Amino acid sequence: MVIYIAEACWLLVRSLMSLASECESCGRPMSSNADHGTQNPDNPYCIHCTDLKGKLLPFEKLYEDLVSQAMQTRWMNHEQAEKSALEEMSKWPAWRDKAGQMLQHQ
């Protein structure tokens, strides 16, 4: 009986984990509607990466925010922070192409 309950709990946890998605712009987990831009679960971007209408913020804005954050929290100089931001952004679907191209030209 205990084994069946544990198995049922594990199946529930796995199904809930599969419902969570990641922002296609920054990789943040979006586990509820409130995490999505305009609280719309069909929006692939989180509230941090969208404007009030749910539209994706410009690349330059998010890039500069990441550079600034890296300099402040990871003690990087500007050049290191730029490279780090591009490497991170190149992992995300929304910026993969643009960030990848910028990395190649560095």
**How many residues appear in the chain?**
106
DSSP 23-83: -TTT--EE-SGGGBGGG-TT-SSBTTSB-TTSPBPPHHHHHHHHHHHHHHHS---HHHHHH
Whole-prediction pTM value? 0.74
Q: Where are the domains of the chain?
A: 21-104
| Least-confidence region, from 9-13, 42-46, 61-65, 100-104 | 9-13
Residue 2 has pLDDT above 70, yes or no: no
pLDDT digits (tens, 9 = 90+) for 21-60: 999 999 999 999 999 999 999 999 999 999 999 999 999 9
